[in-house]
Homo-oligomer: A and B are copies of this chain.
């Protein structure tokens, strides 16, 4: 029996072992989705703490249901290890590690590289390897493939198969999760594509195949670049509308009545999270190699870079109404998560604004029902304050930086002296409220 036939037979019998490297916000939901479908999953996690939590059935990712995790741990379908030698036991290995930018906004490929070296050292012949992490097009072919072949001594297409399938996790999305979000898959060979489909369709309803990994890589970047560009566009227009006495949210609501050819994006203090502020710059990075400047991404990045500063000017202007300066004022940020109703403050514009306000002498407080503690880029450590009548009354200015549903705007309006509303949380205009 060929390696391929052997692989497909295992899948047909549901006796394959799926390895998932990295049990973060992508890997853990994916692992649970496979395990819930009755497939044995071995999670690989560098962090001893996280591995122990998963093995104890303790959930730390809000998109995973506690009960789902408990169940697949209890029935033995999901096990987690910090021992990467066990990659040798896996039939399929799915890489779900971070692809951040370094401090100079260049791709940091170190997590992918370490994963690939471990896979190369340990994988057995007949393994299917797939990267899920967002990265620049050609990564699978030109970065991963050489490492795997060199470290393993195995030959791609003959001894193992390599593919790319971008994660499409949207944290906090109640409607679309791992299983019901269609998954794009591109492999280097037809066999790899066939095997990849067989693997993924256990955990995901719809697999959309494309002709190559680089097409799949580009798909993910296009999706997030579209968002970066459109959020940046609406932020820039919001700043102009502020000057022209036009309510940008009213404009967007009216534009939405066009029944074709328009999709609404909403302004805010800037782009946050682990995808949209980063992914397009992976493309910008590889474009340079092809002698290409991506002017739209560059412009969008520029707008986004300026937003925290621009928002600090809004705070200054609001305080100016009360003849106050930031220096010496008590300022409370409401919401430090990068989007509503989630607990993730990575790349959150609130943190950048906080650094800037503190630098200008503001006495800083924040409240976020989902984020108990933060540390800013400048190293400032803060804990969430209680949102009491007294706390609000003492503040010279309250900044609504994230529109969590939990915020009681009537309560805030009643008790705050001055509100800078960066999220259109307060519909009614009033003297107290200064809008983006």
Question: Which A residues have a C-beta under 8 Å from some C-beta of B?
Answer: 137-138, 168, 170, 173, 175-176, 180-182, 184, 206, 208, 210-212, 214-216, 218-219, 222-223, 225-227, 229-230, 232-233, 236-237, 239-241, 243-248, 250-252, 254-255, 257-263, 283, 286-287, 290-292, 294-296, 298-300, 302-303
Question: Which of B233, B245, B252 contacts A296 (CB under 8 A)?
Answer: B233
| Number of chain copies forming the complex | 2
A292 touching B251, Cβ below 8 Å: no
Question: Which of B212, B233, B248 contacts A229 (CB under 8 A)?
Answer: B233
Whole-angstrom CA separation of A252 from B225 in the bound complex: 12
B215 touching A247, Cβ below 8 Å: yes
> Do A226 and B262 form a contact, CB below 8 Å, given A290-B244, A299-B296?
yes
Identify 4 new A-B residue pairs, CB closer than 8 A, beyond the known A137-B246, A215-B250, A218-B251.
A210-B254, A211-B247, A214-B245, A237-B294
A244 touching B137, Cβ below 8 Å: yes
Q: Give the interface centre of A258, A260, A263, A290 by most chain B CB atoms within 10 Å.
A: A258
B175 touching A292, Cβ below 8 Å: no
B215 touching A251, Cβ below 8 Å: yes
A255 touching B170, Cβ below 8 Å: no
Residues of B within 8 A of A240 (CB): 283, 287, 290, 292, 294
6 cross-chain CB contacts under 8 A: A208-B254, A211-B250, A222-B255, A226-B263, A236-B296, A240-B290
Residues of B within 8 A of A299 (CB): 295-296, 298-299
B215 touching A257, Cβ below 8 Å: no
Which B residue sits closest to A226, measured CB to CB? B262
Whole-angstrom CA separation of A302 from B298 in the bound complex: 13
Whole-angstrom CA separation of A236 from B292 in the bound complex: 10
Min CB distance A107 to B, Å, is 16
B208 touching A244, Cβ below 8 Å: no
A296 touching B261, Cβ below 8 Å: no
A254 touching B303, Cβ below 8 Å: no
Residues of B within 8 A of A137 (CB): 244, 246
Which B residue sits closest to A306, measured CB to CB? B295
